[in-house]
Every structure is written in C-alpha cells, then in structure tokens.
Structure 1
Amino acid sequence: MSETESLLAARDLRVAFPGRRGAPPARAVDGVDLDIGAGEIVALVGESGCGKTTLARSLLGLVRPTGGAVRFAGSPLAYSGKALKAYRRRVQLVLQDPSGSLNPRHTVYDAVAEGLRIHGYAGDERAAVAEALARAGLRPPERFFLRYPHELSGGQRQRVVIAGALVLEPELIVADEPVASLDASVRGEILALLLRLRDELGLSALVVTHDLGLAWNIADRVAVMYLGRIVETGPVETVLTAPRHPYTQALLSVLPESGGDPVVLSGEPPDPARIPSGCRFHVRCQALASGAAAEVADRCRTADPAVLGGGPGAAAACHLARPAAVRD
C-alpha cells in the first residue's frame, strides 16, 4: 500500500523523550512505517511499554514527532492550532476507560455534544447527538439524553464514548484498548459494533491492544510492535497463524487456543534509552537462547534488521525469518 492509497501513512516516524540529568533520550518510537487504508481496521499489538500508545498519540497529533512524517488523505499533518483542530475532527480517539473519559457531572447528551460545540457545529445538534447514539447502539437515543455516567453499565458508557467520536463523522478512529476494562460478555458486543461501523460507514480504525485474540476477532491487518519499532506486519490471518518473528510467536503462545507450551520471555523489555545493538529483541529471543540459530547469532547481535514497509504485505524484521519487504 503506497502513501497515495493510504488514508493515513507514517514514514520513519520517531518520538524521543529527553533523558534526565544527561541520560540518553528515550526512543519511544524509533523509525516506524505504518499505513491504514480507507475502511480498514489495523491492530497495533505488543507488550506494555513497547511504544504503542506513544505511536498512536503521535498519529493523532497529540505528540509531535521528533522525526519522520505523518500524512492523512495524501496531505502532511500540520501542527498549527487551526490545522490540528480540523485534523482531529477527521481522526477521533476512543480511550480504554469510559469512566475516565466521561465527566461524571455531564449528561450523556452533553458528553456527546461536546465535540460539536468545540468545532462550532452549525446544524441540528439534537439530531446529530441522537444519530450518533443510535449508531453506537443506544436506542432509542432520547432515553439516554439525561442520564449520567454512573447510571449506565460499563458497556453503555463505552458506547457513549464511541458516540462522542462518531458525532463528528470522522474517517478514522484510534481506539486505545477499547474493551480492556469491560467484562468478557460485553467485549464481543463492542467489537461487533466497531466492525459494523466499518461496514456501514466505511470507517477506518487503528486498534491499540496487547491482546492478540482481540486482533484476530476484529482486524484486517496486524502490526506487532516491540521497543519502539514494528517487528512484524501483515494480514491478520497470516501473522497470527504463521508468525515469523520470535516475539510474535511468544505473544501467541500464551493464548489458550495456541495448543502449545507458553514461551516465557526472559526479563523485561530493555530501556528505550538504551536500545541494544543489532536486533533489539536478541537479548530476549527464545530462538537464540535455545541455540537453534547459532549460525546467525552474531548478525542478530550486531546488525539491525531493516525497517518494515507499512503496506499490506507480510514481513518480519528478523534475521531468522525469510527475506522481508522493507521500506523504500
């Protein structure tokens, strides 16, 4: 998928946070290519602390990159106040904790109408709020107008948050762990809602999650992130049924349906201010630890695998994998 075909495209995106007291900068996002097409759902997966949320916030314009570029609908993301405001009407964020996203003193109506008021909506506010609530599965919408967050179930609160994003008729939503705080019985309903919105509205989505099972249920493509970089990407069926990167294999091994023994990764991910030389995963790689890859061990420790392209082809940034598609 080229930049001209993508709704959103990141190229060599980098976000580094200054170190304290002369320490090296923390490279939270370290050269990422990522594409999201129109009407496509991409799952961004990885352990906590791998850079997923920082990447998502940089794609939203909430964190200004220290390098690289973001393009939306073919145009570069501009960081002036007016340009960002217009961009954020087209790209909306859905947070993981609906209780923290909603003001307890605001009614459902006011929560959903807030975006319209910020952007100076000149149409029929009541009709727009009602339509957004209905699209989010809260029907009849008028029954929810005067209710407060504490009067709703967790699933209903998440639907209100989604309605607040939908009311501005965005082209893309970024959903950060959208079902992590919900009961298992409700998660499927919210995932089904996101799929329905994709099918009915052509809505694109980047779903940030640590849960590969969720990615399997909702995504068209998956991008696996480790220590600031995408290490495997491709169609969800390809990546999750035939993972090529040892990190992806380890993440999948802990799922109950994997059928094998879980792979226990050694230690915690390295400090992003001190990323290891060579392949950034080699210090935890189960293949190297087992001695199965002795012939490439030196390369893993000294040569950084090429950055993956952001398009639809399957690729893995790993010296043990078959040759991968790399960035132009």
Structure 2
Amino acid sequence: MALIGPGDDRLLDATVVGHKFARQARLRDAGFAVPEFVCVPVSAFDAAVEGVSKPGDDLPAWSEQAKTAVSEVPPTLARELVAAAEAMGGLVAVRACVVADEHGVGEDGATDAFAGLTDSFLYVRPEDVPAAVARCWASGFNPESVAYRVRRGHAADSARVAVGVQRMVLGTRSFVAFSRDPRTGEATGVIAAAHGIGEGVVQERADVDHFYVDGDAVRADVVTKRWMMTRGDDGPVTTAVPAELADAPVLSDDLVRQVNDLAGKVEAFFGLPQDIEGTITPDGRVHLVQARPVVFAAPPTSRASRGATTTSPRASRASPAR
C-alpha cells in the first residue's frame, strides 16, 4: 500500500510527509480533535517527477513545463486514494506540503514557513482525489514557489511534495489563532474569525472579526460582515453573509476563550508559540485542522535595514494594528 495511515510511524516523520501532516498526526495521537487523514508520501512524488528536466536560465518557462509534466498518479495509487476518500465518508480536503530536508527546512517549518506556496483543494469527491493529488504535486513547481526558494538560497527544483487527504469538516465558522501576538511576542492570544470556511480568512476573501485575549479578558474588533467563503458546486466560492449575522461577533466570548485555550494547549504540546487553524461545526465543536510555529515579525530596525516586509503573510492577515 502506497498510502500512509494512522499507526504508521512514517506519519510522524516530517522528511516523509512534511511538518504539516507530521504535526497533525502527533496532535491526533495526543487526543486533539484533528480530522482523520492519510498521506501520499514524498517517495510517490519523487517517482512522478523522475522525467522532469533540470531548470535552466528561464525559470518561469521551466516552472510551467515542469507543472505540465506532472499530470497524473499511477493507477494503483489512484485506486487507493479513491477507496481512502470513500472510507472517510465522501468529501475530503487534499493538501500539498513541501517536506522537510535533513536540516528541518520545509513548509511550515520553525524558521521558514513556505506558507501558501503549494496548492490545496477542498470539498473533493472521491473520484476526483487522484487528479487533485497530481495538481498538488505540480504545485511544487508553481512559479512563485520556485522564485521563493531561489530567493532563500535553495535550488529551484528542491521542493519535494507530500500530499494529505483528510476528511472534510463541514464547519460554518472558521478561525486562525495565535497563541502569542505574532508582532510582539507578548502573551496575548490573537484570533481572526469569519463565517464560512477557513480559506476565507487565510486568503483574505471574507470579512473578519479579530479578538484579543489577555488572561480572562476578551477584546473584540467587530466589523460588518458582508462576505464569506462556503462550499460551491466545484469547490469554495465567495457568498454573502446572511443579514442576521452581519453585525454580531462571529465568536462569543466563551468561544473565543475556548479557541485561545486550544492554541495555548497546542503551544504547550509542541513547546513553541503556535499559529493554528480550525473550524467550528453547527454543534459548536471546535476542530483543529492545522498547527505551525508562529513566524514572528522582525524588529522595526531590522526590517528597515533589510527592506523586508513587516511580518509574515499569515501574521499580517490575522493581526491588524490595534
């Protein structure tokens, strides 16, 4: 069997499945409410890209050629993927992750997040999972991903991609939460929440409320919410927020404290401040779908001297200036 599932020690190895899925496996094993999933290990990607040419001087052209070369998964793996998705009840999320190298550098790593540079697909039907996996593999050659690696001093073709196939939780509210303020490092919980699915928060395609937690005190910056992301016929779509939800906070104070407590527990589990994503189902249950170390903003003097951006992309989305 090519897929790696629960109980397989390789699911805990970031060089095999990436930090994203290795962390989820550890959290699931520890009893956190992480939806079940299986992984296509990086060895399958390595086999799929054997025929891809080496990069030349024209990196954008090479990127597009390489993406085209990775167009399908082997038949045996395709059958396993369909069966795994069916066993999870139908709709799944299919997500790519650039695996860690021997030094731990890779997507969602502690020092270089690589966040948002590979592709993910939500609400995928079982019969469509093999094609989504191939597209995740191809996203390792996304021009912006290649350019990012080159700027960081890595080889243009250094990305090696694992893919996770996870039960799709049909949440109605979603959040990104930081166990510590990503701009200052202070012990203040920062939460961005929106109606609909988490892609609305992460991709800045939903109107977002922000919550700040100091001890037991909660402060909210609430906006009038017009847009959210929900399930469409062919994946996520932007839709209008119902009028009765537009002005009330997305999360109650009690739910804010619950999410903040979850972020704190994940921080304690990993021993580092955490940036987590989750969704809330209509029954009020909080589901944890991703966790990664917080990438803190650089000090202002360092930013000015480097001409760098003020903070990581995820941090800037979730924590506006107060």
- TM interval, short-chain normalised: under 0.3
State the TM-score, normalized to the length of structure 1.
Answer: 0.22
Give the number of the structure with larger relative contact order, counting CA–CA contacts within 8 Å between residues 6 or more apart.
1
